[in-house]
Structure 1
Amino acid sequence: MKKQAFLLPIAALTLTLAACGSDNADSGASAEEKEEMTLTHELGETTFDKNPENVVVFDFGTLDTLDALDVEVTGIPKGGTVPSYLSAYESDDYENVGSLKEPDFEAINAMGPDLIIISGRQAEMYDELSEIAPTIYMGVDTSNYMESFEENVTTLGEIFEKEEKAAEKLEAVHTSIDELNEKVTAEDRNALIILANDGKISAYGAGSRFGLIHDIFGFTPVDESIDVSTHGQSISYEYIVENDPEYIFVVDRGAVVGGESSAKQVVENELVEKTKAYQDGNIVYLNPDFWYLSGGGLVSVQEMVNEIASEL
């Protein structure tokens, strides 16, 4: 995807005022005004009323941020795994709008939402969703993770008039990242990031889905030539031994999609036991709620930092 699509630059936000309510001069009351916002994003340009109340959210990173900003939503996709720390949204207080890959268009239409927020998994359905309500694309550009993340949070602050709170929380995240980066670079450690999925393992390097471990936190990639792709580069256990990383960071996909084997069973075999990471106790199992399901949220990014920091 094009890099600029994810940044949602604040300069692209055009604010206009649209008068709503009675135009009757005899009423003696001033017309109620509703502020409009026009947002340019990857899939187009969308105009909607600022501070919408009836909001459908398909991206868990966005839901994470809205929750941190105390913004209410009305519908989320419950037809799959919801991050455990966002389980409150599984209650009947929130409408079920299908699954991440299969929106329930009938249910969404019946809700009459003011705004629909999507990300990569729903991109192909943007036009259809836009026919129901104003729809915006909001995802994280993993090749430019922090700037993209910050722009998304700032934009959500603009949309829901939570600018000050968003700025405060972003500042806290940046402070903790700076502290982590200082520790990591002082140790000058290399690392390998892998995704474990029921017996199969894939590697992720700099600029990838989990690449902020290298790009932002400061771990040197044990292999600079790992392919950058959504699904990672398929690797063998011999590959891990050959590269002999000092840290191995493991994202357990099976843990959140109903897999039959645990990542520890898959990863810690006789071959991997030969690595520095295993022998030094530096195989780190990352929380897939934050890393796989809801990356790019205010809470998830902070928890990513906390997880890595706790291992140093």
Structure 2
Amino acid sequence: MLKKTVWLIFASLLVLTLAACGSNSEEKDSSNSKGSDAKESETMEIKQELGDTEVPKNPENVVVFDYGVLDSLDILGIDVAGVAKGGLIPSYLDKYASDDYENIGSLKEPDFEKIAEINPDVIFISGRQSPVYDQLAEIAPTVYLGVDPANYMESFKANMNTLGEIFDKQAEVEEELAAIDASIEEVKAKAEEMDQKALITLANDDKISAYGPSSRFGLIHDVFGVPPVDENIEASTHGMNVSFEYVMEQNPDLLYVIDRSAAIGEEPAAKNLVENELVKGTKAYKNDNIAYLDPEFWYLSGGGLVSVQEMIKEVEASLE
């Protein structure tokens, strides 16, 4: 009788122990499930002039219009689903021209139907797409990452830090930005030592435009420290229309040229246009100081972690 009672007590304790373990296991599974759901639904708020938006952390389905943002995502190892192929993709990003990536239209004419079909988690845009921000925002959270020419480095760094936060790549972004800052300091030291004044021009077909401080290409003056030969150039996206007589009168020590024709896939024409009899009379030509800047970095994809570093290298080379 005593033995039977002991076995009954033992069996009862065993049942209670198993029940408790099962309960703990269920609670743990439930807790893990809730944690997983919370992680998947985690978002961050992006405050921007075009409209504040909630963006999911670590989005998987990414659509990109801006090539500078694309080169930044590429170097950070972040995959994208769709890119703008309706123009000339920079050669160093030519893998995105393949069928592995959806074509979301051109830089100025998005394919809204295709974008909706992709059903992206986030859309990254810049200045060319800002007029259609509202339509894009109806499809998915849309983040504006354009660079402000008047505050180039501040806006560029803010954009990169935003990408770092969205994709949990803060450490990688900080490392890239630190390298860029170090390169800029080297260029500024050379510019100060040489004390040469420069003129920045964009060659477009048979005409040229000049760019000064706070303009589209004004970081040469504002950030890299190369003094402008003319302090009164109107700051604008399209530059100030000038003649070659103007270039001769300004007589820059350095002449920077960006070939728009080459940037958009046409035959390069800047050298034949610029190196005429008037320009040959300038100090820049006589001292072999005409720098033809890579139009892919300067015209197509500026504002990226890769392109900005390459832009620094080109200006540094022009000061040697």
Whether TM exceeds 0.5 here: the answer is: yes
Deviation of 1:48 (Å):
1.8
Bigger CA drift: 290-299 or 31-40? 31-40
Asked if residue 38 in structure 1 is aligned to residue 41 in structure 2, the reply is no
> Quick one: which amino acid aligns to residue 116 of structure 1?
I
Structure that is richer in strand per residue: 1
- Pick one of 121, 129, 132 that aligns with 1:114: 121
> Quick one: which amino acid aligns to residue 161 of structure 1?
D
- C-alpha separation in 2, matches of 1:239 and 1:256: 24
> Quick one: which amino acid aligns to residue 136 of structure 1?
V
- Pick one of 197, 216, 231 that aligns with 1:224: 231
- C-alpha separation in 2, matches of 1:213 and 1:139: 18
Please list, as runs of the form range in 1=range in 2, the aligned pairs for 1:137-148 lying within 5 A after superposition: 137-148=144-155
Please list, as runs of the form range in 1=range in 2, the aligned pairs for 1:264-283 lying within 5 A after superposition: 264-283=271-290
Asked if residue 68 in structure 1 is aligned to residue 71 in structure 2, the reply is no
Cα displacement string for residues 74-99 of structure 1 (whole angstroms, at most 9, x for unaligned residues)? 10000111111111111111100000
> Quick one: which amino acid aligns to residue 238 of structure 1?
E
Asked if residue 305 in structure 1 is aligned to residue 312 in structure 2, the reply is yes
Q: Secondary structure at the match of 2:43?
A: strand
Deviation of 1:27 (Å):
5.6
- Asked if the contact 1:79–1:98 (Cα under 8 Å) also holds between the matched residues in 2, the reply is yes
Q: Which runs of 4+ in 1 moved over 4 A?
A: 24-27
- Asked if the contact 1:116–1:135 (Cα under 8 Å) also holds between the matched residues in 2, the reply is yes
Runs of at least 5 residues in structure 1 that lack an aligned partner in the other structure: 1-23
Structure that is richer in helix per residue: 2
Please list, as runs of the form range in 1=range in 2, the aligned pairs for 1:42-191 lying within 5 A after superposition: 42-191=49-198
- Asked if the contact 2:43–2:54 (Cα under 8 Å) also holds between the matched residues in 1, the reply is yes
Give the % identical residues.
Answer: 58
- C-alpha separation in 2, matches of 1:153 and 1:258: 28
Deviation of 1:219 (Å):
1.1
- C-alpha separation in 2, matches of 1:86 and 1:149: 20
- Asked if the contact 1:198–1:260 (Cα under 8 Å) also holds between the matched residues in 2, the reply is no
Deviation of 1:59 (Å):
0.7
Quote the residue 1:288 is aligned against: 295
Asked if residue 249 in structure 1 is aligned to residue 252 in structure 2, the reply is no
Quote the residue 1:205 is aligned against: 212
Deviation of 1:30 (Å):
2.6
Cα displacement string for residues 31-73 of structure 1 (whole angstroms, at most 9, x for unaligned residues)? 2223211100120100021110100001111111111111111
Instruction: With the length of structure 1 as denominator, give the TM-score of the two structures.
Output: 0.90
Q: How many residues align?
A: 289
Deviation of 1:262 (Å):
1.1
- C-alpha separation in 2, matches of 1:261 and 1:294: 18
Q: Which has the larger radius of gyration?
A: 2
- Asked if the contact 1:198–1:261 (Cα under 8 Å) also holds between the matched residues in 2, the reply is no
Q: Secondary structure at the match of 1:56?
A: strand
- Asked if the contact 2:251–2:284 (Cα under 8 Å) also holds between the matched residues in 1, the reply is yes
> Quick one: which amino acid aligns to residue 234 of structure 2?
D
